[in-house]
Amino acid sequence: MNEPGRFRANYGLPLWKRDFDGVCTYAFIDTVDARYASLLAQAAARARDAGSPSIRSLAREAAHWLETTDFASADLDRIRQKTIRYLLELHPRRGQAAGDTGGRAMPTLENAHLALSIFEDASRIEMTDRKRGCVWRLDTSKSGYRLQGNSPPIPFPAGTARQEQESLLVSYRLAEGPLSFRWQLEGDHIAVALEEAPTGVAAVTLPGSFSLSDEPVELALPLYQGVLLRNRETDWQARTGPGGHGSFSMGMAGFLGPKGALLTVQERLTGWAGFYGAEGGKMFVTFEEEPCPVEGWQRPCVRLIPTDADLTALCKRYRAYLKERGDLVTWATKIERKPILKNLFGALMAFTGYNVDPELDYAACARDLKACGFEHIFFYPVRMGHYSLDFLMGGDQPVWLSDAVLAELKSIEGVMLSPWCWIFEGLDDGPGEYRKLFRKDAAGNFMPHWKIDDFQWYRVCTSCETDYIRKRLEGDLKAMDWLHFDVDATFPPGPCYNLSHAGHAGHPMSREADLEWKRRLFSPETVGNRIVSSEGFLGYCTPVYDIGSTKMMPGPDIARQTPVPMTLLIYHDSCVHDWWELHNYNAVPGWPVSELGRGMGRVGTGLPKLKASLDALYGCPPNVFPFGRQYAWANPATRESFSFSVRLEDPGVQKALREALPVSRLHAKIGPLEMVSFACLTEDRSVQAAAFADGTRIVANLSDQAREVAPYGTLPPTSWREVDR
């Protein structure tokens, strides 16, 4: 994560110069600049001894500059630019002016759609989209490797490119060993595989970021539901794997130019991170491949697919790829396997809190809520599906409604009940039965995770979760119609070294094997005819789960960082994309609206009109906290918690329900359908439109001011409308 200049000036470069250990002392500050400067010092020292005369002189100059610059008072952006320029120049490779091959050979592959050219020393890689006349050039400054996941990327040294049958092989000699990529034309796209990488390298870019020669490019990134980014005036960067919230929801990313777009597709489901941001006025994004801690490198591959220059075309091309791979399972197929899914369309998602509320008549409240007109109400959670109930949250017991109350709730037409399937982690019961389920890291230690007050939870192995929940579903969770799993989708798969687990007896569980267990956990073989949801929207979970979560709202700078329905354009007829359970339409204590920063929007409880407008546009069901009891943080740093109650008659709840009802009715109609197109209708991108397979078209004004948009006339502030065309 990059931090504002103030923090950098106080804690980054000056500390590095004074030989403080910036990483250890100020781990939370994560000073990218200090690391660059440290890299430069190393590079200069190396080059002073080993380089050509001109490189040696440059190295002396860089070392002198590092020595004499007053980092505490200097312009940090300029310093960073200069550091990076020195770093690039101290490499043996030399850059070339645009359009000039410098007399060198340039191996090239061509077909009717594409041309791919690579300089012999790999200093330039270009692909030409012949149909749209776009030349995409790899930004070599963003190609490289990392020695640790959080260490700064190191640019590749000079390489070699040569043609080998129908492909171009690009090779580098790193200090750690040989590394090579194979670039191959495959009809309308290019496949780039990491052919070989040394052990000791923690991440390799595949293949790097792209730009157009003269035209600005904006990014389409799958963060939350998706976001268009053109926030490139200041330098910033972020790195995240697949997961919920601000992580990558899907293994894809797009570059959007004026004439054409470039879709990059990650072939692997896990074992990668997205590295993105802005530098020197340019946006960048690249995948970085990571070896499996258990199985090592496994020939990662990324596809580069040119498409038309709009978000719908980009997302639909990714959808076509998923279909080809067999990873797009539509509602029709899912309903054949689990008929109960028909009840999902026209739903109100009704979160009622993890805590028990002893003063509440849940059944009476549910009847009153049903009387508001909702066709289906999805209550969660009505029981805490955890390993034990022997813990407190904000001082309260976990929720556990009696058999009699469950029976009363189930007698209300359209009511669907879920427990909190919190089996991702457990409390240590000493030599008891649950400690046996804990995951171990490579050093053989249990892995502490969630914490509330003084209660400490530990990660459980996914292979053990599957057996455990199956037994509970035959017992005290039998009456449940749907299952909300806690963060199983949110956290990316990882290894388990507890060799006593039956699911991987005698050998460590690989990352890929963990992913397979996650899919089994959600699948009908484990849950039967029950609807499945989990925190986090993850493309690779959609074949087996039915509701993913975590969406964001636009922030004040919607024109440059625009939340857009990428997951919906791809998966609307396959999976619901809900809000995180504590980001309800009504505002509740402890979970206020906050800005995400780093080129993103806002999250939090409340803003019912905005959430309703987004859900109508996206064809999603509404999410309200109508009544119940919940904890929040009194102090997030110390994990101190408090509790609060919500009542149906609260004015905030009533307002949220009024906004939710028409959205829920719309969902009954369009919930099962494909979203066929999406567009921003105004320059500031605050008015957006989406169309669905039956011809339904929704226009939403996401700004807090009225907007005049032809042919729709005046759209009131924060509103939505179904339109004819």
Binding site for Zn ion (CB under 5 A): 461, 496, 498, 501
Of residues 446 and 712, the one with the C-beta less far from Zn ion: 446
Cβ atoms within 10 Å, residue 507: 10
Of residues 417 and 461, the one with the C-beta less far from Zn ion: 461
| Measured distance CA(494)–CA(628) in Å, rounded | 35
| Measured distance CA(133)–CA(216) in Å, rounded | 15
CA distances from 49 to 85, 159, 543 (A): 20, 21, 56
Residue nearest to Zn ion (CB): 461
Report, in Å, the least distance between residue 496 CB and Zn ion.
3
Could you tell me which of 500, 419, 501, 507 has the C-alpha nearest to residue 462? 501
Burial 594-610 (b: 16+ CB within 10 A, else e): eebbbbbbbbbbbbbbb
Report, in Å, the least distance between residue 515 CB and Zn ion.
13
Of residues 314 and 496, the one with the C-beta less far from Zn ion: 496
Could you tell me which of 213, 349, 389, 437 has the C-alpha nearest to residue 663? 349
Residue whose tokens read 């859900």? 615
Report, in Å, the least distance between residue 514 CB and Zn ion.
8
Of residues 493 and 671, the one with the C-beta less far from Zn ion: 493
E strand or H helix that includes residue 348 = strand 347-351
Write the DSSP symbol of residue 62.
H
Report, in Å, the least distance between residue 461 CB and Zn ion.
3
Report, in Å, the least distance between residue 290 CB and Zn ion.
20
Report, in Å, the least distance between residue 522 CB and Zn ion.
18
| Measured distance CA(541)–CA(526) in Å, rounded | 15
Could you tell me which of 630, 718, 704, 616 has the C-alpha nearest to residue 668? 616
SS (H, E, C) 566-608: HHHHHHCCCCEEECCCCCCCCCCCCCCCEECCCCCCEECCCCH
| Measured distance CA(43)–CA(53) in Å, rounded | 15
Report, in Å, the least distance between residue 439 CB and Zn ion.
6
Residue whose tokens read 């899912």? 334
The tokens for 5 are 């200049």
| Measured distance CA(719)–CA(701) in Å, rounded | 5
Of residues 309 and 447, the one with the C-beta less far from Zn ion: 447
Cβ atoms within 10 Å, residue 706: 12
Type of residue at 22: G
Report, in Å, the least distance between residue 518 CB and Zn ion.
13
Of residues 294 and 666, the one with the C-beta less far from Zn ion: 294
| Measured distance CA(212)–CA(74) in Å, rounded | 32
Report, in Å, the least distance between residue 699 CB and Zn ion.
50
Report, in Å, the least distance between residue 464 CB and Zn ion.
6
Could you tell me which of 402, 517, 541 has the C-alpha nearest to residue 466? 517
Residue whose tokens read 């004004």? 701
Of residues 170 and 461, the one with the C-beta less far from Zn ion: 461
Of residues 288 and 514, the one with the C-beta less far from Zn ion: 514
Of residues 217 and 464, the one with the C-beta less far from Zn ion: 464
Of residues 488 and 546, the one with the C-beta less far from Zn ion: 488
Burial 422-450 (b: 16+ CB within 10 A, else e): bbbbbbeeeeeebbebbbbeeeeeebebb
Report, in Å, the least distance between residue 511 CB and Zn ion.
12
Of residues 316 and 504, the one with the C-beta less far from Zn ion: 504
The tokens for 200 are 């000791």
The tokens for 397 are 């017991």
Of residues 394 and 495, the one with the C-beta less far from Zn ion: 495
Report, in Å, the least distance between residue 532 CB and Zn ion.
22
Report, in Å, the least distance between residue 218 CB and Zn ion.
42
Task: Spell out the residues 6+ positions from residue 712 whose beta carbon is closer than 8 angstroms to its own.
Answer: 699, 721, 723
Residue whose tokens read 């556990």? 400
Altogether, the residues listed in the chain come to a count of 725
Of residues 501 and 530, the one with the C-beta less far from Zn ion: 501
Of residues 498 and 630, the one with the C-beta less far from Zn ion: 498
Could you tell me which of 395, 417, 399, 387 has the C-alpha nearest to residue 354? 399
Write the DSSP symbol of residue 354.
S
Report, in Å, the least distance between residue 492 CB and Zn ion.
16
Task: Spell out the residues 6+ positions from residue 454 whose beta carbon is closer than 8 angstroms to its own.
Answer: none
**Angle made by CA atoms 702, 704, 705, in degrees to the nearest 5:** 105
Of residues 368 and 467, the one with the C-beta less far from Zn ion: 467
Report, in Å, the least distance between residue 426 CB and Zn ion.
13
The tokens for 567 are 């997951």
What's the Rg (C-alpha) of the chain? 27
Could you tell me which of 171, 185, 530, 59 has the C-alpha nearest to residue 337? 530
Of residues 409 and 461, the one with the C-beta less far from Zn ion: 461
Could you tell me which of 308, 180, 266, 196 has the C-alpha nearest to residue 492? 266
Report, in Å, the least distance between residue 273 CB and Zn ion.
23
